[in-house]
A = this chain, B = another copy of it.
Amino acid sequence: MANVAAKREISSAEGEELSREAKRAKGDDKNGEESGNEPEWENILSTFTTTSVLSDSAREKIMFLHGKMAGDEAVVVLEKTPVREDSLAELFRDSKLRLDMRNDIYSSYRLQAPPHLNEIKTTVVCPATEKHVKKYRRQESFLVEETGDDYRSVTLPYIQEQSLSLQWVYNILEKKAEAERVVYDDPDPEVGFVLLPDLKWDQKQVDDLYLIAIARQKDIKSLRDLSSEHLPLLHNIFHKGKAAILERYNLPASKLRVYLHYQPSYYHLHVHFTKLGHDAPGCGVERAHLLSDVIQNLQTDPQYYRTRTLWFPLRADDGLLGRFKEAGRL
């Protein structure tokens, strides 16, 4: 189950995922500082030659490299360290600055700090297997433009051919799995849904709250299938979902981001509830559609999502991207 479920969400927020991976190697062994002796400086990396950048995140200041170290395959992770409050005075005293830009009251500089105040956390996996390399490799994404016609001629046939199993969804709806995780259950066959925590959320704190509402209706694949006839269902999920989260987590609707994905990661209608202020993977404007907006658009135009052009990112290895290329749409 866990494996299938993990695949529910192959999202664009690789950075977060990856930095979590990077932490994995940390802290099991306290050979470093607690041994009493300052360890020797070494430069194991001087023998490292980079084959490729597997992935990186400019926002998180992290980079994953594949290469060779003394004949062995290796993965090297470089991650800048957070700015430290306890060394600010020393940083300001001992750094050099170069002016980049000045405009009105704003100016911007490049600051060169003493190396010991600005370390880079470096994790080495060596010898690394092909699995390590694959795990850290990022797939590029491309923004795809899909008209209503594209949906019917390219996307829909692809989805139908794939016919990916939704058994795990049905297991949840039928309480055959994850029953103990359900936060709210509305059994109505038309407007009912099951609300439960997303697997990405460890439920330890409300700061990164992430729940999913899964519709009981089985014939709605995605946003594209919605029309005004589904407004009662959408209203129900919106209002009862928010009420259930207020009751269980004491989090009011004004702190929630409620949205659908297009493309979704599985073709059974579901709605994401995440905490505002938490940059949940997949909450970007290129993939997320606010449920309140969806409702408003359907109220104005019952066929809005069947006729509109929609844009979404697809990873380079996504079969659907290949279909758009074949159709000359990229």
B279 touches A2 (CB 8 A): yes
Which of A93-101, A155-163, A212-220, A230-238 faces chain B?
Answer: A93-101
A104 touches B177 (CB 8 A): yes
**A interface SS class:** mixed
Tell me whether A101 and B207 are in contact in the complex, defined as CB-CB below 8 angstroms, given that A78-B83, A285-B257 are known contacts: no
- Rounded to whole Å, the gap between the CB of A106 and the closest CB of chain B is 4
CB-CB under 8 A from A1, the residues of chain B are: 279
A65 at the B interface (CB under 8 A):
yes
Tell me whether A48 and B92 are in contact in the complex, defined as CB-CB below 8 angstroms, given that A121-B108, A126-B105, A284-B285 are known contacts: yes
Which of A187-195, A221-229, A289-297 faces chain B?
Answer: A289-297
- Rounded to whole Å, the gap between the CB of A205 and the closest CB of chain B is 6
CB-CB under 8 A from A65, the residues of chain B are: 88
A276 touches B141 (CB 8 A): yes
Which one of A61, A97, A178, A277 has the highest number of Cβ atoms from chain B below 10 Å of its Cβ? A277
A165's nearest neighbour on chain B, judged by CB, is: B104
What CA separation (Å) do A106 and B76 show in the bound complex? 10
CB-CB under 8 A from A205, the residues of chain B are: 58
Tell me whether A11 and B104 are in contact in the complex, defined as CB-CB below 8 angstroms, given that A85-B53, A296-B309 are known contacts: yes
Pick from B59, B124, B208: contact of A280, CB under 8 Å: B59
Pick from B60, B106, B128, B285: contact of A168, CB under 8 Å: B106
A26 at the B interface (CB under 8 A):
yes
CB-CB under 8 A from A59, the residues of chain B are: 16, 19, 60, 82, 208, 278-280
A113 touches B120 (CB 8 A): yes
A140 touches B277 (CB 8 A): yes
A167 at the B interface (CB under 8 A):
yes
What CA separation (Å) do A246 and B116 show in the bound complex? 39
Tell me whether A104 and B13 are in contact in the complex, defined as CB-CB below 8 angstroms, given that A88-B50, A97-B42, A118-B118 are known contacts: yes
A8 at the B interface (CB under 8 A):
yes
Pick from B41, B88, B142, B279: contact of A255, CB under 8 Å: B142
What CA separation (Å) do A95 and B42 show in the bound complex? 9
What CA separation (Å) do A170 and B15 show in the bound complex? 37
A328 at the B interface (CB under 8 A):
no
- Rounded to whole Å, the gap between the CB of A104 and the closest CB of chain B is 5
